[in-house]
Amino acid sequence: MTPGEKLAALNALLKRCKKAPFYREKLPERELRSLSELKQIPLTTKEQLRRCSPYDLVCVPRKELYQYHESFGTTGTPVSTWLTKEDFKFNARHINTGGINFSKEDVVLVRFPYAISTIAHYVHRAAQLKGACVIPASSRSTVSPFTRIIHLMQKLEVTILACLPLQALLLAETAELLGFNPAKDFPNLRAIFTAGEPLTDGKRKLLESIWKVQIINNYGMTETGSQINDCEFCRPHPDENSFIYEILKEDLQTDAEPGETGYLVVTTLNKEATPLIRYLTGDRAKLIHEECPCGKEKVIEIRGRMQNTIKVGRRVLDQWDLDDLVSLLPYRRFWIAGPGTRGVKFVIEKENCSGTLSAHFIRKLEQLHEVPLEVEIVPKGTLLDRSKLLSVGRIGKPRYIYTAAEMQQKTYLKAEETKFL
């Protein structure tokens, strides 16, 4: 899309948005003369979306509404998202622009939650559009516990597992409990399609080392739909024909430089029912200019939520940074982190391996990452009660980062604290 075409699409979006009570008084009367004028429009925040839910963001007649969803995993009033039939089809087609390459030869087990969330429905439709067979096996259902999923994967010769990164890890743990080797005992599995939480380089390498298959990720959210797909070379490329991306510095006004981490703001050019203009997603991100073998030249790293960071002096460490550190340790599967007495404290579960963690190694990590570290290795089962994998089917999103007070009080050791199950 040329700059002129994008400007025309943006002005068409603004005209459409004026039909919604939420945007009616916020948008300029005249058309924008340049893409740079978009910055004159105030940011849209999640709190504003909560206040205008369920109907004040709707830009089409109600008879054109096709499907309804809400953001989940958030506190307070949920955010309403409506879809037209075309919105729904767009998201399914958008997933198919990435590197997962569903085909008629595939059996796709969808482990994302179906209830009120969006990604399961989009992946389900995307796979079927390419002729694949779909097994709907929601993670938030008591009828599809982890053990049943493992047996389904073997019995039905699943070729693609679609799930949160954490689910892929927990399913590997379940397979091991049942006596299977994830890397050898699922010979038909060719890829894992992930979404729903940040997939850092460290987490991707961990999952690849366990399952020995390609990990293809999709970034999106209930409010915006599918936004960023991994290509076949596992690099996340922005879709600049369907979205306008901004990465802003902490002042939420100045553009971050390429290679600098900032806060992701997204404008949805194609969404019909509940489009968003300059939506502050709540995610930290980094735009990188690099040539990919697929031919694209831009990569966006999604580095984790704005609130899920640890400050040490002037440094701000996000989930991407923390996963990078953990990826260098001999134990990498289950960990939490928070502010310590002198820097960052990690609590990491021991695994069935012979790795050691010397004081000299910790000092080398501190020098490499320029941050004081405290690492506590706890017995296997401290952060994840594996016996539950043999009985439960429902699971929420993981929690990795804790406050200083919670770390000091060891809240993460309390039975009622939800960590990974």
Q: Please tell me whether residues 327 and 211 are part of one structural domain.
A: no
Q: Please tell me whether residues 66 and 204 are part of one structural domain.
A: yes
pLDDT for residue 359 is more than 90: no
Structure confidence at residue 420 (pLDDT)? 62
160 is a domain residue: yes
248 is a domain residue: no
Structure confidence at residue 74 (pLDDT)? 45
At which of 224, 243, 262 does a domain end?
243
Structure confidence at residue 77 (pLDDT)? 80
68 is a domain residue: yes
294 is a domain residue: no
Q: Please tell me whether residues 158 and 32 are part of one structural domain.
A: yes
Q: Please tell me whether residues 346 and 237 are part of one structural domain.
A: no
271 is a domain residue: no
344 is a domain residue: yes
At which of 243, 275, 293 does a domain end?
243
CATH number at residue 333: 3.30.300.30
170 is a domain residue: yes
Give the pLDDT band of residue 345 (cuts 50, 70, 90): very high
Structure confidence at residue 397 (pLDDT)? 64
Give the pLDDT band of residue 417 (cuts 50, 70, 90): low
Average pLDDT score over residue span 341-363:
82
Average pLDDT, the chain: 92
Q: What is the pLDDT of residues 142-182, one digit of tens each?
A: 888 999 999 999 999 999 999 999 999 999 999 999 999 99
Average pLDDT score over residue span 243-257:
97
Average pLDDT score over residue span 344-370:
82
Q: Please tell me whether residues 159 and 60 are part of one structural domain.
A: yes
Q: Please tell me whether residues 217 and 345 are part of one structural domain.
A: no
Specify the residue for token string 């879709």: 239
Average pLDDT score over residue span 117-136:
97
Provide the number of structural domains found in the chain.
2
pLDDT for residue 40 is more than 90: yes
291 is a domain residue: no
Percent of the chain with pLDDT over 90: 72
Structure confidence at residue 269 (pLDDT)? 97
Q: Please tell me whether residues 50 and 162 are part of one structural domain.
A: yes
pLDDT for residue 114 is more than 90: yes
Mean pLDDT lowest among 165-174, 218-227, 255-264, 340-349: 340-349
CATH number at residue 30: 3.40.50.12780
Range of the domain at 69: 1-243
pLDDT for residue 131 is more than 70: yes
Phi, psi of 21 (to 5 degrees): -55, -35
Q: Please tell me whether residues 209 and 338 are part of one structural domain.
A: no
What's the longest Cα–Cα distance across the chain? 67
pTM: 0.93
At which of 243, 274, 297 does a domain end?
243
Q: Please tell me whether residues 163 and 73 are part of one structural domain.
A: yes
Q: What is the pLDDT of residues 52-96, one digit of tens each?
A: 999 999 999 999 999 999 986 545 688 999 999 999 999 999 999
Average pLDDT score over residue span 191-220:
95
Mean pLDDT lowest among 22-31, 56-65, 80-89, 308-317: 308-317
Q: Please tell me whether residues 59 and 201 are part of one structural domain.
A: yes
Q: Please tell me whether residues 201 and 316 are part of one structural domain.
A: no
Give the pLDDT band of residue 242 (cuts 50, 70, 90): very high
